[in-house]
């Protein structure tokens, strides 16, 4: 059997890359606790992360982007991400308040999702994490606890 080629169209490769990037942007994510909130600000964006759920092997957090200044007219972006620490993958489980994406969709479909909607959403997370790394928009371990 030959070497397994890790093709970028493979969703598992995207999930693994997103986990690695998440660990670089949030190096202390496994140590965080539920209802913690952290944020970072760039000249154009305010990025907020809230820890929604913590179990021994997973952490689920929301990733919200608000535009500020001249770009305030752009819509907010809301993602919910689950990190599986044992498998070292991160997957978007909610995007703009839409949940439970299938790996493939027939087209057209009632929600007008693209055929590979799940892959596109997970790639979008990867692009945002790349942006955070490029602009040094990494988060510090100072957190605020929210009353649930």
Residue 109, domain extent:
11-138
Is residue 16 packed enough to be buried (19+ CB in 10 Å), middle (13-18) or exposed (0-12)?
middle
Which of 92, 35, 86, 41 has its CA nearest to residue 63? 92
The answer to the question of residue 3 being in a domain is no
Q: How confident is the model at residue 146, as a pLDDT?
A: 53
The answer to the question of residue 148 being in a domain is no
The answer to the question of residue 5 being in a domain is no
Task: Measure Cα distances from 115 to 25, 77, 93, 103, 112 in Å.
Answer: 30, 21, 17, 8, 9
Task: Measure Cα distances from 6 to 11, 88, 89, 122, 142 in Å.
Answer: 10, 16, 15, 16, 37
Q: How confident is the model at residue 140, as a pLDDT?
A: 60
The answer to the question of residue 146 being in a domain is no
Whole-structure pTM value: 0.80
Q: How confident is the model at residue 8, as a pLDDT?
A: 54
The answer to the question of residue 1 being in a domain is no
Low-confidence ranges of the chain (pLDDT < 50): 1-6
3-state secondary structure 62-93: EEEEEECHHHCCCCCEEEEEEEECCCCEEEEE
Please tell me the total count of domains within the chain: 1
Is residue 62 within 8 Å of residue 78, measured between CB atoms? Answer: yes
């Amino acid at each position: 059997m030959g070497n397994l080629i890790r093709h970028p169209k493979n969703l598992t490769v995207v999930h693994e890359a997103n986990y690695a990037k998440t660990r670089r942007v949030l190096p202390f994510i496994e140590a965080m606790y539920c209802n913690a909130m952290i944020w970072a600000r760039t000249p154009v964006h305010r990025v907020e992360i809230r820890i929604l759920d913590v179990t021994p092997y997973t952490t689920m957090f929301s990733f919200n982007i608000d535009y500020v200044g001249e770009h305030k007219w752009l819509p907010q972006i809301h993602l919910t991400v689950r990190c599986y620490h044992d498998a070292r993958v991160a997957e978007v489980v909610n995007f703009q308040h839409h949940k439970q994406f299938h790996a493939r969709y027939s087209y057209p479909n009632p929600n007008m999702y693209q055929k590979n909607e799940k892959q596109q959403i997970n790639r979008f997370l990867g692009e945002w994490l790349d942006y955070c790394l490029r602009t040094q928009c990494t988060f510090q371990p100072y957190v605020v606890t929210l009353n649930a």
